[in-house]
Chains A and B, each alone.
Chain A
Amino acid sequence: MRFLARRLGFYLLTAWAAITLNFLIPRLMPGDPVELLVARMKGNVDPAAIDAMRRAFGISDASLWQQYLDYLGNLAHGELGRSITFFPAEVSTVIADSLPWTVGLVGVATLISYLIGTALGVIMAWKRGTWLDGVLPAATFMHAVPYFWVALALVFVFGVTLQWFPVSRAYGLDVMPGLTGEFAQSVLYHAALPAITIVVASMADRILGMRNVMVTTLGEDYVVMAEAKGLTSRRVMWAYAARNAILPNITSFALSLGFVVGGSVLTEIVFSYPGIGSMLLKGVENEDFPLMQGIFLVISLAVLVANFLADLAYVVLDPRTRQESE
């Protein structure tokens, strides 16, 4: 699997780039979290304590290179440092607490959006010239709608006005987390609106992307041939056209994951969802370098892994890659 090895190499390189970028950005930019903390506490901290806190937060004066080596060393041990916002909690703990929510929400929502979007795209391309073309303008519109605006609108309609769904947090206040049906139900109920937001906002891209590739694919000789063979429309549509049209879409889907993750950060914030997006914003607001770095790293790595999985899927789905490269 030479192809995969190459891709893996690339992802490792990218991961390294992300890690290094992550290290560099905060160090190249001005700002001091302790000062900020003091300002936020409006004088509840005496300025004289600042130096001591600075040390406690691990803000160091060592050379950049030394810091980089330390940073890599710590990373290798899975240590992301201590969060400043949640001091003395470890960044890894903060992330471990919030990541499952994001993965669950974004994962499920993306899957749904992918499945529905792809299917709709296929069907719309197949039934060109019918009323289904009417979905196109709607999809074009949805393609350009900000995630958080969709979220706001859903909150307004279903949360505030109709009160059908809860509009914040990940599960009910009175439910204790655990492997209970009650907890699961509460989680699903609370995830409904955020998930719908992500599905609605990200589906349009899938529809449009799939439709375009599918339309092009429909013009391919092998689709015409399949039709000429007298196969059922279903078979021509899925096994011949869609099956091939999905291939170029896999890569673009994987790449669009980054956008979905970005959008879900905003969505989480609107819904006060205790995921990684809310944490990221908190980190940014508090100039919490370690937390921001940790989260950005985790998001990047997650997107990288997703991309690698997409490559795997590509290899599985496209017999040509099993032999050739690129």
Chain B
Amino acid sequence: AKPQADAPPLVIHAVDAGTFQEDFNPYHLEGVNFGTSGMIHETLMYFNKLKPGEITPWLALDHKWSDKGKSVTFTLRQNVKWSDGQPFTADDVAFTFQMLKKYPQLNRNALEIEDAEALAPDKVRVDFANTSYAKLFNIAGNSPIVPKHVWEKEKDPSTFTNPKPVGTGPYTLSKFSAQLYELVKNPSYWQPGKPEVPVLRFPAYTANALQTALQQGEVDWAGAFVPDIQKIYVQGKPEQNKFFFPPEGVVTLLPNLTDPVLAKPEVRAAMSLAIDRDKIVRVAERGYTKVAHPTGVPMPGGEAYIPPEYRALSYKVDVEKAKELLKGVDPAQLKFTLLVPSPFTDWVNAAQLIREDLAKIGITVETRGVAFQDWVSKVGKGNYDLSIRATASGPTPYFQMRSMLFGGLAEPVGEAATGNYERWKDAETDKLIDAYAATEDEAEQQKATQGLGKIMVEKMPTLPLFYSPSWAQYRTNKYVGWPSEQDPYAMPSPYTSPDAAVVLLHLKPAGK
């Protein structure tokens, strides 16, 4: 296919920013400009979170585990070139992982790298201190490869801002200002004829400014919460101004299990029965997402990870039954504070609805909105009764389950935990989690996850409410081929990487 000289640029809003910093280091956390990983720097493999288990070879053609999961060898794609013309080799991969070992602050996946070695120009082996089957996503799907010949000259890659990035990806940086940067097609990209979008523009929009921009049609692809999407964005043209909010993790009502009352399963069960999740989704979440499956596994897509007997399960409000369950509990004890981060206005509203629902079964809830950081620290340390929190997500539901339930993450109250905030301690749960991590076999892994789902349904360590939506608004007037419910080939939101690059490679000019 000929390059489309007249194909229009695509205007993208990925993250809220007043201004941009000139930082294209893919291992930086916040200041880094979006598109650095995926569009410029690519990973070894691509994991589609919307279809757990679907893995696409990318810079690596395949991988092989050895040494009981402590070592992995990648076979790399040939004929890939860096955007400055140098060939991409196993040395670059080895360099990248060695750099992560040397600079732990860049190693945000906390890979326990022991060594990385180029075995041949197209073969590289990475060794780990522990069994790392479960971390394949972090290793291959979330560690962008950087060019050794450029980066080895830098004294401290942790503060290196990579202002003239050299990558293997479909785009290269062409322009940068504090308000706007532009990526253009990499002419020597290894996927011939792609991408078909020649120019990407990233203007800086704050959350507010973006709303106006969306209304005025300035942006082609955005990932934003829009309070009234019909009025502000769709504007009566649903076939052109589309949006797709697939689930990405689950938001649960966290009960603090160190509280003797909340530790009683019947109390949690009663709460779950009383909460009208449909209304929460409708009113607080404006219908942008769906009520969670009782296992918490994102659906559709996660079917294989849900025990067969529960696949069709869904929540039903039953106040009478809930009251029944609470018969044995002293009503005076049913008083809780529900802590929510006040900047998350939808959660504040959800908390309000939960308060109203729980009042119906005699549970008094005081909602308290606190500063984000306050909430983080209180929930982290277990100083709360009830709270609302989203869980981390990964390429399969296991990651979410582990973070919600793994006993090893349950810190004593007063110490900051990094997961399992409700402090669920259960030997069976931990065994299932270990089982998943100890195998490479997908079927085994699914079985373990199903076991966790069963625990979620039956013991209710935490109460799933709704899925956290992944925001994506895209317009089809310039380009078509976006992911959709029918064809969820990648996360549609422009702020997820490397999925965004995958989306761009699927796009075709409209009207062709």
Contact = CB atoms under 8 A, between A and B. Distances in A.
Establish whether A and B are touching in the complex (CB under 8 Å).
Answer: yes
Interface of A: 30-32, 35-53, 55-56, 82-89, 94, 97-98, 159-160, 167-171, 173, 176-177, 270, 272-274, 278-279, 282, 285-287
B390 A42 contact: yes
B179 interface: yes
B249 A42 contact: yes
A97 B10 CA distance: 27
Select the residue from A35, A88, A94, A285 with max chain B CB neighbours within 10 A: A88
B372 A87 contact: no
Interface in B83-113: 103-105, 107-110
Contacts of A97: 19, 178
Contacts of B380: 35, 39
26 contacts: A31-B374, A35-B380, A35-B416, A39-B372, A39-B380, A41-B29, A42-B249, A43-B393, A43-B419, A47-B419, A48-B110, A49-B104, A49-B108, A84-B30, A88-B25, A88-B158, A88-B161, A160-B212, A168-B205, A170-B179, A173-B218, A272-B205, A274-B18, A274-B204, A285-B372, A287-B373
Contacts of A169: 179, 204, 209
Nearest to B216: A163
Contact of B28 (A49, A88, A171, A177): A88
A283 B447 CA distance: 45
Contact of B206 (A83, A85, A171, A272): A272
Contacts of B343: 285
A43 B105 contact: no
Select the residue from B18, B249, B343, B377 with max chain A CB neighbours within 10 A: B18
Interface of B: 18-19, 21, 23, 25, 28-31, 103-105, 107-110, 138, 158-159, 161, 177-180, 203-206, 208-209, 212, 218, 249, 343, 372-374, 376-377, 380, 390-394, 399, 403, 416, 418-419, 468
B178 A36 contact: no
Nearest to B103: A52
Nearest to A38: B418
A282 B392 contact: no
A268 B330 CA distance: 52
A274 B204 CA distance: 10
Nearest to A41: B29
Contact of A47 (B110, B249, B373): B110
Contacts of B372: 36, 39, 285
Contact of B19 (A39, A45, A98, A160): A98
A85 B380 CA distance: 21
A35 B380 CA distance: 9
A53 B107 CA distance: 9
B387 to A, nearest CB: 12
Nearest to A282: B18
A189 to B, nearest CB: 15
Contact of B107 (A31, A44, A52): A52
Contact of A44 (B108, B178, B180): B108
Nearest to A82: B159
A43 B417 CA distance: 13
A55 B373 contact: no
A171 B204 CA distance: 11
B105 A56 contact: yes
B99 to A, nearest CB: 13
A285 B418 CA distance: 20
Contacts of A177: 177-178
Given A36-B372, A88-B23, A88-B158, A278 B390 contact: no
A52 B208 contact: no
Nearest to A85: B30
A48 B19 CA distance: 31
Contacts of B103: 52
Contacts of A94: 21
Contacts of B392: 42-44
A127 B239 CA distance: 63
B109 A46 contact: yes
A88 B158 CA distance: 8
A160 B212 CA distance: 8
Contacts of A40: 30
B203 A173 contact: yes
A43 B403 contact: yes
A31 B376 CA distance: 9
Contacts of B19: 97-98, 274
A48 B376 CA distance: 17
Contacts of A56: 105, 158
A43 B398 CA distance: 13
A46 B110 contact: yes
A35 B377 contact: yes
B18 A278 contact: yes
B391 A43 contact: yes
A272 B29 contact: no
A49 B105 contact: yes
A51 B209 CA distance: 36
A176 B177 contact: yes
A159 B216 CA distance: 12
B18 A279 contact: yes
A293 B123 CA distance: 49
A166 to B, nearest CB: 9
Nearest to B158: A56
Given A30-B377, A56-B158, A287-B373, A49 B110 contact: yes
Given A35-B377, A168-B209, A279-B18, A89 B29 contact: no
B206 A278 contact: yes
B376 A39 contact: yes
A175 to B, nearest CB: 9
A304 B418 CA distance: 43
A67 B208 CA distance: 38
A168 B18 CA distance: 10
A33 B462 CA distance: 27
A171 B110 contact: no
A49 B107 contact: yes
Given A37-B29, A88-B161, A89-B23, A168 B208 contact: yes
Nearest to A287: B373
A224 B128 CA distance: 92
B179 A47 contact: no
Nearest to A33: B373
Contacts of A48: 110
A305 B209 CA distance: 33
Contacts of A88: 23, 25, 28, 31, 158-159, 161
Contacts of A279: 18
A167 B212 contact: yes
Given A47-B110, A83-B31, 17 more contacts: A30-B377, A31-B374, A35-B416, A39-B380, A40-B30, A43-B399, A43-B403, A47-B419, A49-B107, A56-B105, A86-B30, A88-B159, A159-B212, A274-B178, A282-B18, A285-B372, A286-B30
